[in-house]
Chain A
Amino acid sequence: MRLKTRYPLIVGLVLVFAYFYAQNGIVATSVSFSAIQLALPLALAAMVGVMCERTGIVNIGIEGTMLISAFTAFFLGAIFKDTVLGVLVGIFTGSMMGLLLALMAISWKMDQIIAGVILNILAAGLTSFLYRQNYSIAGTLSPIEIPILSDIPIAGAILSFHGPITYFGIFIVVALWFALYKTSWGLRSRAVGEYPSSADTAGVSVIKLRYINVTIAGGIGGLAGAYLSLEAVGIFERGFTAGKGFTALAIMIFGRWNPLGAFAAALFFGLAQAVTSQLMIDEVVEIPQQFINILPYVLTIVILAISAGKVRPPAAEGIPYEKEKA
C-alpha cells in the first residue's frame, strides 16, 4: 500500500478507536477484538489471492477452497475427536484444491476464471451432497493468553485471547510479506507473475514455481476454512463461507496485491462490520438499520475513492505460460 493510502487509513482507524474509547473502554476494546475475528478469514483468503496472482495465476476459487476445507476439517476433526488433526486436514484439503487449480490452469492451460469456477462448484456440490447432521467436534480451538501482552491495558484486551489460527494467520501474513519482498523466492515469484519469459531466460522454472506457489496458497485457503469451522464457530453448515472468498478478492485489490496492504484492508473491513454492530448495540443514531448495515460497503467505496491511484495487477496474470512461442 502506498503512502497516499496509508495515512488517511491509519488516521481514520485511530480516530474511530479514540471515539469509542472515549465513550466506553470496554466497547472500544471489544469492537477491536471483534474486528480481528471478522478480519482474519478475509485476510487469510486474501493471502491466497495475493500469492496466486503474484505468480500469475488468477484464483477465484478461494470461496470453494475455504468451503471444502472447512468441511473436511470439521468432519474429520469430529470423527476422530481431534481438532488439531482437523486443522491439518483442512490445510491439506486446501492445498489439494490449489494443486487442482494449478493442474487446470498451468498444465492444461485452461481459462483460469473457469478453473476457479470449477473449484467453487465442486466444493459447493460435494459439501452439500456429503453433509450429514449430528456430528460435533470435541470443542473449538481454545483462545490463547499471550503472557506479557495480556497485562498491557488496551492492547492486551484486543490482541490477547485469540485462537491459535488467528496468531498463526497473522504470522503467515508477515512471513508472506517478508518472503515476497526480501527473499530470492519472492523475487522469482514476482518475476514469474510480471514477465515469465525473462524469468525463464534467467533460469527460473516458471511452471514449477507456479505449481508450488498455487499449492501452498491453497493450503492457506484451507487454513482459512479450518478457522471458520474449528475456531470461529465450531460447526459446519453448507455455504456458510457466505461469500468471504469473493470479498477477499476485493480486499486483495484494495491492498494492492501486497500481503500487509491486504491485511490492513481486511482489518478495516472487519472493523467496519464490528462498528456496524456496535452502532446497533448503542443505538447512538436513529437511522434505519438497513442504512447502518451498508456502512462497511460504503466505507470501502469511499476509501477506494480517496486512495484512487494506479492499481495495477501483475502483468502476466491469467495468461498460461508457453515456452518458446513461435
Chain B
Amino acid sequence: MLKRLAAIAAALSLALFGLAACSSDSATSEADCGSENAFCIGLVTDTGKVDDKSFNQSAWEGAQAGATAVGGFAKYIETVDPKDYATNIGQFAENGYNVIIGVGFLMAEAMSTAAAQYPDIKFIGVDQFQGAAVPNLTGLVFPEDKAGFLAGYLAGQITTSGKTGAVLGTDTVPPVRYFGEGFRNGVAYAANELGKDYPETKLVYHAPDNAFNDPAWGGATAKQMLSQGFDVIFGAGGNTGNGALLQIAQTPGAYCIGVDADQWGTLPEAQPCLVTSAMKLIDKGVAALIEAAKDGSIAGGNFFGEVGLAPYHDFDSKIAQEIKDKVAAITPQVLDGSVPTGVKL
C-alpha cells in the first residue's frame, strides 16, 4: 500500500514536469539580449498556458504589443510546476533580459526574490499587489471588485427570478474573491435602486486544488443553480468558470457573464447566454508598462490597470435601452470610486 502511494505521488510529480518556451518573431534574437541596442522582454506564465483564452493569453498579447511598440524582442516560458517559477524567471534574468513579466498572484514571492537579486532588470508582476514599493518591481493590479460590481449591477437589472450567482475559482486567490464579492454587491446595489428585495447573490468557490481547470465541476455546479431558478450566473475562474458558461449556454432564457477577457471572442460556444464579460485589460496594462520600462518612466509599487464591461454583442438589441443607459451612467462613477463597491480589499 505504502509502495503504491509513493508511486502515485512520484507519478503525479512526474506528470507535472515539463517545460515549454517560445518566442515572437522579431528582428532581434535572444542572442542579442544584454547588448546595448537590444530590448528583451521575457514572460513567465503561471501554471496556465499562454493560449488559455484568458489571463495568460492576455498578458502575452500585451507583451507582444509592447515589444512591437518599443522595437524589442519578446519570449515566454510556460510554467508547468509552481516549483519552477524561480527557475523560469532566472532563465530570463541570466540571459540579460531587460524586462521580466510574471503572470499571476501565485508567483508574487518568486518575483520579489528575483527583483532583489537582479536590481538592473525591471520586473512586472501581473496581479501582484505590492505591499512595500521596490524600485524595480511594479505590480500590475486591477480593481476586480469594480469590474465585478458593474457585472453585478447589470445582472441585477436583467434578472427576472432575482436569483443570481457566481461559479468561481478559489477564494485563496484574492482577485477571484474581489470579482465575486464585487458582483454580489453590484446586484444588491441594482436591487436597491429598483426597490426589489432579491435574495443575496450566491458565490460558489471550487476547492483550491485544480481550482481553475475543472470545467466539469463548473458545469455541474451551474446546472445545479439553474435547476434552482438562478437566471444570471457569473463564471469567473479560468476553465472552471468556462465550464459554467458552456452549461448555461445550453439553457434557454438564462444569462451568463464571462471574465478577464471579452469571452464573446475567446469562448464563442458561450455566445447564446453571454451578455457581457467583466474585463481586466491586462494586455493594455502590460504594453503600457513595457513602454514605460523602455523610456525609464516606470516606477516601483503598484500600477492600476483598466477594467470594464465588454460590449453586449448580440445582446445589444435584447437589453432594454433604459438598462444600457443606467449601466453607462454608473460605469464612470464606479471606476472613479464615487460609487464604492463595498468590497474589503
Q: Which of A12-51 contact B (CB under 8 A)?
A: 24, 26-27, 29-31, 33-34, 37-38, 41
B190-231 vs A, Cβ < 8 Å mask (1 yes, 0 no): 000000000010111111111001111111110111011100
- Please indicate the chain A residues that have their CB under 8 angstroms from the CB of B165 in the complex: 281
Shortest Cβ distance from A41 into chain B, in angstroms? 7
Instruction: Tell me, in angstroms, the Cα distance from A233 to B213 when the chains sit together.
Output: 12
Q: List 22 A-B contacts (CB under 8 A).
A: A30-B227, A30-B228, A33-B227, A37-B219, A37-B220, A38-B216, A117-B11, A117-B14, A120-B14, A121-B14, A128-B20, A228-B216, A232-B220, A240-B215, A240-B239, A244-B216, A246-B12, A278-B224, A280-B203, A281-B165, A281-B225, A290-B171
Q: Chain A residue with minimal CB distance to B199?
A: A283
Which of B172, B217, B250 makes the CB contact (< 8 A) with A273? B217
| Chain A interfacial positions (CB closer than 8 Å to B) | 24, 26-27, 29-31, 33-34, 37-38, 41, 58, 60, 63-64, 113, 116-117, 120-121, 124-125, 128, 131, 133, 136, 140, 228, 232-235, 237-240, 242-244, 246, 249, 273-274, 276-278, 280-281, 283, 289-290, 293-294, 296
Q: Chain A residue with minimal CB distance to B230?
A: A281
Shortest Cβ distance from A305 into chain B, in angstroms? 15
B15 within 8 A of A: yes
| Extra inter-chain contacts (12) besides given A232-B215, A281-B204, CB under 8 Å | A24-B228, A27-B228, A30-B223, A34-B221, A34-B224, A37-B219, A120-B11, A232-B220, A233-B246, A234-B246, A235-B215, A293-B207
Q: Chain B residue with minimal CB distance to A132?
A: B51
Instruction: Tell me, in angstroms, the Cα distance from A243 to B208 when the chains sit together.
Output: 13
Which of B15, B200, B225, B227 makes the CB contact (< 8 A) with A120? B15
B247 within 8 A of A: yes
- Please indicate the chain B residues that have their CB under 8 angstroms from the CB of A232 in the complex: 215-216, 219-220, 243
Most chain B CB within a 10 A radius of its CB, from A30, A31, A120, A296:
A30
Instruction: Tell me, in angstroms, the Cα distance from A240 to B48 when the chains sit together.
Output: 11
Instruction: Tell me, in angstroms, the Cα distance from A238 to B212 when the chains sit together.
Output: 11
Which of A228, A235, A244, A278 makes the CB contact (< 8 A) with B246? A235
Known: A60-B8, A128-B20. A233 touches B202 (CB 8 A): no
- Please indicate the chain B residues that have their CB under 8 angstroms from the CB of A244 in the complex: 216
Most chain A CB within a 10 A radius of its CB, from B17, B49, B220, B243:
B220
Which of A30, A33, A233, A281 makes the CB contact (< 8 A) with B216? A233
Instruction: Tell me, in angstroms, the Cα distance from A24 to B68 when the chains sit together.
Output: 58
- Please indicate the chain A residues that have their CB under 8 angstroms from the CB of B221 in the complex: 34, 277
- Please indicate the chain A residues that have their CB under 8 angstroms from the CB of B210 in the complex: 242-243
- Please indicate the chain B residues that have their CB under 8 angstroms from the CB of A125 in the complex: 18
Q: Contact at B10–A117, with CB atoms within 8 Å?
A: yes
3 A-B pairs closest in CB distance: A30-B227, A293-B207, A242-B210
Instruction: Tell me, in angstroms, the Cα distance from A242 to B210 when the chains sit together.
Output: 6
Q: Contact at A133–B51, with CB atoms within 8 Å?
A: yes
Instruction: Tell me, in angstroms, the Cα distance from A80 to B8 when the chains sit together.
Output: 37
Q: Chain A residue with minimal CB distance to B226?
A: A30
Instruction: Tell me, in angstroms, the Cα distance from A227 to B86 when the chains sit together.
Output: 37
B43-75 vs A, Cβ < 8 Å mask (1 yes, 0 no): 000000101110000000000000000000000
- Please indicate the chain B residues that have their CB under 8 angstroms from the CB of A131 in the complex: 49, 51
Known: A128-B20, A280-B205. A60 touches B7 (CB 8 A): yes
- Please indicate the chain A residues that have their CB under 8 angstroms from the CB of B225 in the complex: 281
Shortest Cβ distance from A118 into chain B, in angstroms? 9
Q: Contact at A117–B214, with CB atoms within 8 Å?
A: no
Most chain B CB within a 10 A radius of its CB, from A27, A37, A63, A283:
A37
B79 within 8 A of A: no
B267-278 vs A, Cβ < 8 Å mask (1 yes, 0 no): 111000000000
Q: Contact at A124–B18, with CB atoms within 8 Å?
A: yes
Q: Contact at A113–B7, with CB atoms within 8 Å?
A: yes
Which of B10, B204, B228, B242 makes the CB contact (< 8 A) with A235? B242
Q: Which of B252-310 contact A (CB under 8 A)?
A: 267-269
Q: Chain A residue with minimal CB distance to B229?
A: A26
Which of B52, B215, B227, B242 makes the CB contact (< 8 A) with A26? B227
Shortest Cβ distance from A20 into chain B, in angstroms? 11
Shortest Cβ distance from A23 into chain B, in angstroms? 11
Shortest Cβ distance from B7 into chain A, in angstroms? 4
Q: Contact at A121–B15, with CB atoms within 8 Å?
A: yes
Shortest Cβ distance from B60 into chain A, in angstroms? 13
Shortest Cβ distance from A252 into chain B, in angstroms? 11
Q: Chain B residue with minimal CB distance to A112?
A: B7
Known: A38-B217, A228-B216. A281 touches B202 (CB 8 A): yes
Instruction: Tell me, in angstroms, the Cα distance from A246 to B13 when the chains sit together.
Output: 12
Most chain A CB within a 10 A radius of its CB, from B171, B205, B218:
B205
Instruction: Tell me, in angstroms, the Cα distance from A140 to B49 when the chains sit together.
Output: 25
